Structures are given as C-alpha cells and as structure tokens.
Amino acid sequence: MDIGVSLYEGERTRLGGIDLDKDAAVIARWTQDPVYLHRTGAEPVRPLAAGQVKKKLEAQAKEAQEGRRRFDFALRLKDDGRLIGLAALEGVEWSHGNAWLRLALGEPADRGHGYGGEALRLLLRYGFYELNLFRLTAECGQDNPGGLRFLERHGFTREVCRRQALYRAGQRWDDYCLGLLRAEWEARS
C-alpha cells in the first residue's frame, strides 16, 4: 500500500464532493428515470425538481457533519469533469465495522463502460483502508440482475434473500443483501 496513491482517482473517473448548486440539476434529470430510482432506493418512484434534490443533498450533508456515519461522493469523468453518478458509504456502525455501500450511474449511456467498476474499487479501498471497516454490505433487488452480477464479480457474496420483499412494476421481487469482508477483499487485491 502506498499512502501517496490517491483514494479518489481512478483511471478515467474520480470521486469528489457533491456540488449542491450545480449537481442538483443533473441529479433531478436522473430522477425522471424510474430505473435509476429503483436502483438507488426502495422509495416509490417520484421525479424530483432541482430544488427538492438540493434540499435532500443539504440534509444528507448535515447528517454527515453531525453523525459521521455517512460518506457521500460524486463520481465524475476526469477529462471533462462531468457528473456521471453518486456513491456513498452510509449507516456506518463504528463499533461493528460495517457500512452500507451505494453506487449508481445516472445516464443509461454511461453504463457499460467500466466506470462503475472503477468507482467500486475506489470505494472499497476507502471503506477498508481509510475507514478501516471490517465488512461492507450492499442491497440489490432481483429486478436488477446486472447489479447483482456486478457486485458478485467484484467479490461480494449473496448473504440474505428476503423473499418477495419488493413490489415494483406490478411484480414481487426478492431483495438481496450482499457482503464483502475486508479479508476477502485483501485476498483478491
């Protein structure tokens, strides 16, 4: 491990802070896409205006400041700085060394280029070697088979299958918990 190697810089992407003013409008556009919303949470689909997104981001930032239990990142392309996704380690339980990982790319056109893989590798190093967590947990619905494959390809194991726990698009879907232990991640990297 080299302390000089940036925690934030991937090959083509970088993790950075969220710009409340500029990013809110971009994220608001993403919320017009039900698939994006389904992948980022269990809330029913609700497109948001830029002002509403900004309020949410402000609340998140306040929570991060006060509780130190969440770490939010904007994912940007290095060449032009364009915002392409959001990532977070949240619900940190310091005494147990666990956090929940979230990662989503906003535009369908930005998926499938390996940006997510770069971002995930950065998040894992941040979680295990900066926050010193023991394990990371991710949630993914059966309606997102690409997401399940993505997490498994990067070392996550399916641990829990809550049967029929999600209702979307007129159907019931299982909800999976996937986990990656620091020791497993170290053995792979």
The residues binding another protein (CB under 8 A) are: 42-44, 93, 95-98, 134-135, 137, 157-167, 172, 177, 179, 181
* Residue 85 vs 155, nearer CB to another protein: 155
In angstroms, what is the minimal distance from the CB of 111 to another protein? Answer: 25
List C-alpha distances in Å: 114 to 33, 77, 87, 92, 184.
21, 12, 15, 27, 22
In angstroms, what is the minimal distance from the CB of 7 to another protein? Answer: 24
Whether residue 178 contacts residue 136, with contact meaning beta carbons closer than 8 Å, is answered with no
**DSSP H or E segment with residue 59:** helix 50-67
Burial of 74 (0-12, 13-18, 19+ CB in 10 A): buried
In angstroms, what is the minimal distance from the CB of 72 to another protein? Answer: 20
d(CA 59, CA 10): 28
* Residue 56 vs 162, nearer CB to another protein: 162
* Residue 44 vs 114, nearer CB to another protein: 44
3-class SS of residue 16 = strand
* Residue 73 vs 128, nearer CB to another protein: 128
In angstroms, what is the minimal distance from the CB of 17 to another protein? Answer: 28
